[in-house]
């Protein structure tokens, strides 16, 4: 993907190296996006210790200079004065603004106002209004915080364990999470919670529909990058591959389990690819009515 180096976003909070205060654990499924629930399942069944994966392998990251709230921060590698993930963090700063500017324009066309979310980069554990979350949860969005959260070790899991590497696969993950923020702003998130409480039997189905809509929203953003000549060869293939690799059916097979659609929370590989490509082709949020 073509991106502007040196860009700094006021919507990225770098909390790497900051200890979490602790408290109740984040509830699996409460705001957990992209592959969070399934990564936890895969880790438990296959014995993959996701929380032990930090940064770029054996190195330990600490943040020597961090701003929280709505500001930005910088993280540095322990003892070296350099950040091994500096380029990735810089990429995230650019992508998170590009995604949100795209969604803001889409809402403005319908006479609606977009309120930006923050993205929090953390190491191992993070405090949220949804509870204490560990890296093993995977990337997630917390509606009360209006923030998305990611431990960068997740990208190693995505690449090395799930076979979905590439910068556009990384960007797809972020677009999916900000898609959940869009659902929060539009009231979709609250409607799903309300209907799930009223009909427990439909909870899984509604969760799948919500996740597939976030995939579709990510496709809408990807469509905008194509129109603005930001794509490079192989980018779309990277995001489609990522969507396929994290389908519920594939992850259940990887975990040695029987494929059981009744337990799905995010949708099958085919469904995830279908709805990402729907958003990609249409380039319009209105095309993403998974309900």
Segment 214-230 mean pLDDT: 98
- For residue 148, list its beta bridge partners: 119, 141
Q: Which position has the token pair 């998130």?
A: 189
- The per-residue pLDDT for 38 is 47
pLDDT in tens, 270-279: 999 999 999 9
pLDDT in tens, 160-206: 999 999 999 999 999 999 999 999 999 999 999 999 998 878 899 99
- The per-residue pLDDT for 108 is 97
Where in 177-288 does DSSP place strands (E)? none
- For residue 142, list its beta bridge partners: 147
Specify the pTM. 0.83
Residue 70, pLDDT > 70, answer: no
Q: ∠260-244-5 over CA atoms, to 5°?
A: 140
- The per-residue pLDDT for 20 is 85
């Amino acid at each position: 993907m073509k991106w502007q180096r040196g860009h700094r976003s006021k919507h990225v909070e770098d909390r790497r190296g900051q200890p979490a205060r602790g408290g109740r654990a984040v509830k699996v499924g409460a705001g957990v996006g992209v592959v969070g629930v399934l990564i936890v399942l895969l880790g438990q069944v296959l014995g993959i210790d996701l929380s032990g994966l930090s940064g770029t392998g054996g190195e330990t990251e600490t943040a020597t200079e961090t701003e929280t709230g709505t500001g930005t921060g910088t993280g540095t590698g322990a003892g070296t004065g350099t950040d091994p993930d500096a380029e990735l963090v810089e990429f995230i700063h650019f992508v998170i603004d590009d995604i949100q500017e795209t969604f803001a324009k889409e809402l403005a066309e319908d006479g609606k106002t977009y309120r930006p979310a923050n993205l929090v980069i953390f190491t191992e554990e993070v405090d949220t209004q949804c509870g204490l979350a560990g890296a093993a949860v995977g990337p997630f969005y917390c509606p009360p915080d209006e923030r998305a959260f990611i431990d960068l070790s997740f990208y190693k899991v995505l690449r090395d364990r799930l076979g979905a590497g590439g910068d556009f696969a990384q960007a797809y993950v972020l677009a999916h999470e900000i898609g959940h923020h869009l659902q929060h702003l539009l009231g979709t998130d609250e409607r799903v919670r309300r209907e799930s409480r009223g009909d427990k039997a439909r909870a899984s189905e509604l969760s799948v529909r919500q996740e597939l809509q976030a995939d579709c929203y990510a496709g809408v953003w990807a469509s905008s990058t194509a129109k603005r000549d930001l794509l490079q060869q192989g980018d779309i293939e990277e995001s489609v591959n990522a969507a396929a690799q994290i389908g519920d059916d594939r992850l259940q097979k990887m975990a040695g389990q029987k494929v059981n659609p009744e337990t799905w929370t995010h949708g099958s590989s085919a469904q995830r690819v279908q709805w990402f490509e729907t958003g990609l082709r249409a380039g319009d949020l209105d095309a993403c009515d998974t309900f």
